[in-house]
Structure formats: structure tokens, C-alpha cells
Amino acid sequence: MKKLFYVVLCLFLAFSIINQAEAQKVKTVNGIQIVTYPKKPNPPKGVPTKLRLEEDFTIGESENPDESFSEISIFVVDDKGNIYVSDLKECNVKVFDNSGKFKQAFAKKGQGPGELNMPTGILITTDNELMVEDVMNRRLAFFTMDGQFIKNVSVADKTSLSSLIMDSQGNLLGRELILGENQLFWETKKYDKDLKPLFSIDKVKFPNPLEGKMNPFELMSYYQFGKDDNIFYGQPEKYEIKVFNPDGKHVKTIIKKYDPVKITEKDIEEALEEIPDMGFNLKDRLKFPKYFPAYQNFSFDEQGRMFVRAYEKGKGEDEYFLDIFDAEGRYIAKIPHKADPRVWKNNKLYSIEESEEGYRVIKRYSVYWDK
């Protein structure tokens, strides 16, 4: 009996070792480290893997129009916890303090100094100014942190420049629409402070929205600055995130296997409801695929952890799973939560979510890690 027990124990240990060995596969191809994870990776020992989020407050549920949003475009948070929200429809920026209380709104719709027309992006520059992407006016608008207009910088020499983010040196990363011969391309580029192109990360063919049907997910790509200003870039048709150093050299690729999630008719209806009416029958030109992409987006906290929001749903309503990787790119945890992480600041998570009434709101959570 003891011998049988010993054999079983040896087999168990053997399979345990095999499973640990398959927790990740690492190889180097042309100088690029490629790390591949299975569907259920094993986290490294001794690393905090239990993330706990406790809600602090919600912004946007008030009936006061100053304290609610017509359509949240994007938001940023300063070092003091003040929140600056770009409202796409109202063409202004609303400011809330670190307790969620409304402070002020600045800018309005127009073409003059300090006016905006479709503000799709906002960031805090290394000079401690607010930079707003003023898309329809084809410029970048700069304001002081208390909302005073400083200047406009034209981007009319570019067909379309959008989704700008900034590293610790003031360099920018964004997407530019490139007109080729009978073709369109989205090119992801890094620029210096004066918007001089430094190098290109990727160039992807863009389907002409005026010609036939198109898959809306083909337009998606994500990029963020991670630890030490490394660039993380991915197109979510694959669970594959590429890492570039600050000079644009491809140094690592993170791959994770996953189970594709089918798109239901309800999912399509909800997606179409969220698309604004732009006047050229965009909804009629969309053709949805059978499955969702590999992930929705990814973000980074101040410790360099990466949070990848998947399309796999949790048991709770509006819950989706977050795959969490540490600053070295090692998988450490998977948790379900309603939060759609956008900003991590001073051990707080700021998320865009949907209220019970169907309005998009901003929630802040306190962040706790346990082993």
C-alpha cells in the first residue's frame, strides 16, 4: 500500500513539475524575447496576487448638468487627485476635486481661442499644462491647470492625428491617418515635443468606411507607456502585446492563449446604441464578426503592473476578467470586476462604468494588494 502511495505521489509531483514548466514558454527570436502563457498560467511565488478594490465615490450621477456628462471622452488625474474630464458633446472640460466634488467647467463649443469642437483627448503635459485634442478644429488646445487658455497648436498638416499620450520626457505617441495610393493606413508614431516624427511603431491598412461593410474591431489598436517609458502596443485580434524600448526597438512580445468569446445579437444591439449619429449612416456600414477580439484594452499602475481587460465575463452583472502582469511582464493574477480601468494614481483606480440608469460615470476605488 505504501509503495502504491509512493508511486502516486511521484506521479503527482511529476505532473506538478510539468505544469509549472508549462506556466510560461520563453524563447528569443531575432533578439526579441517572446513569452507565451497558457490559458491558466501559474503566478510566480511570493508575489501579491489578490487585488481588492473598495469604491470611494462616483462622478456623473447628479441631476445637476454641471456634475454629470453628456458623453465622456477621456479624463486625466493630477498628483493632487483632481479629475479633468473631457465632455465630447458639450465641448468642455469639467473638473472635480479629490473627493469627487465639482469645481468648475471651462471651454465651450466654437472655433475661437479657448473654444473646442469635439475634444476627444486630454493629457497633463510635463510642463504641467492641460493639452486637449480639438479634433474638428484640427489643433491641440493648451490650458493652465485652472482652465485658462494658453495657446493652440495646429495639426492641419496631418490628415488625422489622434489618441495622443505622453512619456516622462514630453515625447508623444499617437495614431496618424496616412493616405497611400488607393489605400488608407493608421500609423502609430512617436513624436517629440514639437510633433516632429521620431519613428513608427506600426502601420496598419485601414478600411475605407465609405466603401462597403467593415468590421469595427479592425480599427482598434492600443498603446501605453509602461515602466521606464517602454511602449506597449497591441492589436487585439490576437492576445499579443509587443514591447518597444524608448528608441523604438522591439524587445519583447507577451502572448497569452485564451478562449474566444462569441458575439451575441444583444452585444451587437448594445454596441450600436453607443455609436453616436455622425450623419453618414455609420451603423449601417458595420459588419460584426463571430467572436470578440482577444481583449478590450490595457492600462498600467504606478508600479508598472499591466491590467488587460478581457471580453470573458464574470458571474456578476457587467463583470469582465482582468489579466494582471507585473512590471517584468510576468502573469500574476486574474480577477473579475465591473471596473474598466483607465487611470491608476496614488493607490487609486479610476474607472469608466455604466450606472443603473444607463449613463456613463466615473468611479474611484482604493486599491489593496494581498498575498
The domain in which residue 138 lies consists of 25-370
Domain for residue 333, yes or no?
yes
What is the per-residue pLDDT across 210-247, written as a single tens digit (0 to 9) for each?
667 788 888 789 999 998 999 999 999 999 999 999 99
Instruction: For residue range 94-143, list pLDDT tens digits in order.
Output: 999 999 999 999 999 999 999 999 999 999 999 999 999 999 999 999 99
- Please answer whether residues 165 and 174 qualify as being in contact, where contact means their C-beta atoms are separated by less than 8 angstroms: yes
Whole-prediction pTM = 0.89
Structural domain contains residue 1: no
Cβ 99 vs Cβ 348: under 8 Å: no
Place of cell 450621477: 61
Confidence class for position 18, pLDDT limits 50, 70, 90: very low
| Whole-number pLDDT of residue 209 | 62
* CATH code assigned at 212: 2.120.10.30
Q: Quote the mean pLDDT of the chain.
A: 88
356, pLDDT greater than 90: no
d(CA 256, CA 20): 16
Helix spans in 201-279 (H): 265-274
8 Å CB contact between 256 and 24: no
Q: Is residue 242 part of a domain?
A: yes
**Closest by alpha carbon to 322, among 357, 282, 361, 365?**
365
Does residue 9 register a pLDDT over 70? no
8-state DSSP, 341: E
Decide which of 317 and 148 is more confident. Answer: 148
**13 in a structural domain:** no
Q: Which range, 21-25, 157-161, 239-243, has the best average confidence (pLDDT)?
A: 239-243
Which long-range CB contacts under 8 A does 347-351 form with residues at least 24 apart?
348/56, 348/77, 348/81, 349/53, 349/301, 350/75, 350/77, 350/83
Q: Any idea which of 120-134, 243-257, 357-371 has the lowest mean pLDDT?
A: 357-371
The number of domains in the chain is: 1
User: What DSSP character marks residue 5?
Assistant: H
| 213 found inside a domain | yes
Q: Which three cell numbers stand for residue 175?
A: 495614431
Give 309-366 as a DSSP string: EEEEE-SSTT-EEEEEE-TTS-EEEEEEES--EEEEETTEEEEEEE-TTS-EEEEEEE
Asked if residue 12 belongs to a domain, the reply is no
Question: Residue 101: CA atoms inside 13 Å, Cβ hemisphere, count?
Answer: 2
* Chain CA centroid to CA 90, Å: 23
CA angle 341, 98, 343 (to 5 degrees): 20
Q: For residue 18, tell me if it sits in a domain.
A: no
Q: For the CA atoms of the chain, what is the radius of gyration?
A: 22
Length reported for the chain: 371
Sheet bearing 183-191, strands edge to edge: 161-166, 172-180, 183-191, 197-206
In a domain, 122, yes or no: yes
What is the arithmetic mean of pLDDT over 197-206? 90
Q: Is the pLDDT reported for residue 145 higher than 70?
A: yes
Report yes or no: 287 and 214 within 8 Å, Cβ to Cβ: yes
